[in-house]
Structure 1
Amino acid sequence: MASDRGHGITHCDDPRAAQLSGLLTRRRQTLGLTVEQAARATGLAEHRYTALERGAGHGIDLGGLKRVAGGLGLTGQPRETFLLLAADPDVTPYDLVERRRPSIEELAHIDLMEPNPALITDHAWNVLAANASVARLFGDPGRAADGDRNLVLWLLTDGAGRRFADVDEVRADAVARVRAALAQIPADATLQALAGRIAADPLGAGLWRSRSPRLPAEASARRLRHPLYGEASVLVTTSRLPGGLQLIVHHAAHLIQSPAPR
């Protein structure tokens, strides 16, 4: 099936190519662009863009495809669909996440969570932001070296043992989360580095061998020891944010706002 330069040429016997061609053709026409203009917008030679719009995305690496998506203003689900259709078959949705820093709104949100300790990590539990309650209760992540601002690695320290009465379960769950994440995206260099550091730690190595990968729970009860207010059960929740970020909140307001024991 052929068409003029203003329309895609699809491969009728290849549903994936047909979907890719249809998506790009509709997007280009929505923008009111010719093939030549779309090629310039995406940074591709015209013949390469024409081939891509026909459904032949092979030969363009993931970085190049992301630039095409940016040039055509594809965001959200249409962007992910385009990348999955155009990329090599072994590319997974986890490869498509645009890693980023927390936004101003997200930073303000964790401040509003006070007095609940709240922090934002990347997909490998590197702490990117934390409110003042985290610093008061667990220690200030900003004082640690860049490579050591990791929640899972901190849980393997004596400091975590002083703060969690059930630290053995907390540690085992954290290591299991890393194993589960690495099983989903085994080529991720950041997770690989974290796994290597866990394996190099005697405590972490034992947990790595003993715990099978599992999907992380969104919420769990933990026994938290507060230096002023004593020990109590708190709910710890993990929420997924765009860009592979995680919001982790220790809901301890009921403990912190209670009268301190004399």
Structure 2
Amino acid sequence: MATAEFGKAVRRWRDRVSPEAAGLPAGGQRRAAGLRREELALLAGISVDYVTRLEQGRASHPSAQVVEALARALRLSQSERAHLFRLAELAPPGPETVPAYITPSMQRLLDRLTGSPVAVYDASWTLLLANAAYAALMGDPSGWRGNQRNSVWRHFVGPGSRARHPPESLRAFEAALVADLRSVTGRYPDDRRLQQLVAELRANSDRFAELWDSGAVGRHEAARKTIDHPRVGPLTLDCDVLNVAGSDLHIMIYTAEPGTEDAERLELLTVLGTQTLVG
């Protein structure tokens, strides 16, 4: 039975991954060297109850997004990832789809960037991974599902982000988003999820449709952004986007100039995480 085999595989690979390998503290008494269910749920951005039901074979047909998140959290190789997709009775993502695979070596690099807000996006600007500092700065994305995880959708249709865009730079930012998405559709013309995203954006945002139909061009560049944080106030930070060769992924990193008030506020957020601040 595929459902039972999927759960057994998740449990087997969970036992294989140590907290240190997953970038988590190993403190306290542990009955086994591997990850706890709570830790896997945290890393994958899904509920502990759902992890439990998957491992026990009581949850069927996990989505491709859930399988991808589990594969990343479990540090699976490409062949192991493909096997997990097949156990979920899903076709492993092929070359015609937007890549979402984060290699274990890239994951280890990201684990070391704990002092700065870091997020990984696929080529269509769908959020794949965000560290604790990023969640504290921009809002916890663990509950976001589907298009909620896509930055283009969030800007044109959804609630937007905490980043402030002055009127003089807003048009260039929007043009860059649309141009990026247009470029991605050219590289992955058979990706059905990407086609659906563009169709929904055109149907629900007159501004997106206008830019799309006009053939807007632009490119993302390093920039200083002001983040309006609801608890510590505005922070002006440098935002750099690194493109990973051969993977079509974007790594976004926020940093502050040392010795500034912005650096102090960012350090406070990094320490406090997403917990509610009491004034």
Listed one character per residue, the Cα deviations across residues 179-234 of structure 1 (whole Å, up to 9, x for unaligned) are: 122234433333322211221222422332345245x34x3214322422524252
Q: 2:185 aligns with which of 173, 182, 187?
A: 182
The whole-number CA distance in structure 2 between the counterparts of 1:96 and 1:150 is 19
Give the alignment's Cα RMSD to 1 decimal: 3.3
The whole-number CA distance in structure 1 between the counterparts of 2:133 and 2:251 is 14
Matched, 1:193 2:196: yes
Q: 2:254 aligns with which of 242, 247, 250?
A: 250
- What is the correspondence of 1:1-262 to structure 2 with a 5 Å cutoff? 95=95, 99-156=99-156, 159-160=159-160, 162-166=162-166, 168-169=170-171, 170-202=173-205, 203-214=207-218, 216-217=219-220, 219-227=221-229, 228-232=232-236, 234-252=238-256, 254=258, 256-258=262-264
Q: TM-score, normalised by structure 2?
A: 0.48
CA distance 1:209–1:142, shift in 2 (3 Å): same
CA distance 1:186–1:165, shift in 2 (3 Å): same
Listed one character per residue, the Cα deviations across residues 140-171 of structure 1 (whole Å, up to 9, x for unaligned) are: 22211244311222233575354223372433
The whole-number CA distance in structure 1 between the counterparts of 2:244 and 2:95 is 16
How far the C-alpha of 1:103 sits from its partner, in A, is: 3.0
The whole-number CA distance in structure 2 between the counterparts of 1:143 and 1:106 is 24
**Aligned residue in 2 for 1:72:** none
CA distance 1:168–1:246, shift in 2 (3 Å): same
CA distance 1:257–1:102, shift in 2 (3 Å): same
**Aligned residue in 2 for 1:22:** none
The whole-number CA distance in structure 1 between the counterparts of 2:196 and 2:215 is 19
The whole-number CA distance in structure 2 between the counterparts of 1:209 and 1:114 is 41
Q: TM-score, normalised by structure 1?
A: 0.51
CA distance 1:129–1:191, shift in 2 (3 Å): same
How far the C-alpha of 1:248 sits from its partner, in A, is: 2.2
Does the 8 Å CA contact 1:120/1:129 hold for their aligned counterparts?
yes
- Which is further off, 134-143 or 222-231? 222-231
CA distance 1:162–1:119, shift in 2 (3 Å): closer
CA distance 1:171–1:222, shift in 2 (3 Å): farther
How far the C-alpha of 1:100 sits from its partner, in A, is: 4.8
Listed one character per residue, the Cα deviations across residues 30-74 of structure 1 (whole Å, up to 9, x for unaligned) are: xxxxxxxxxxxxxxxxxxxxxxxxxxxxxxxxxxxxxxxxxxxxx
Aligned length: 165
CA distance 1:194–1:259, shift in 2 (3 Å): closer
Is the helix fraction higher in 1 or 2?
1
The whole-number CA distance in structure 1 between the counterparts of 2:100 and 2:264 is 37
The whole-number CA distance in structure 1 between the counterparts of 2:204 and 2:115 is 32
Identity of aligned residues (%): 21
- Which is further off, 128-137 or 144-153? 144-153
Q: What secondary structure is seen at the aligned counterpart in 2 of 1:143?
A: coil
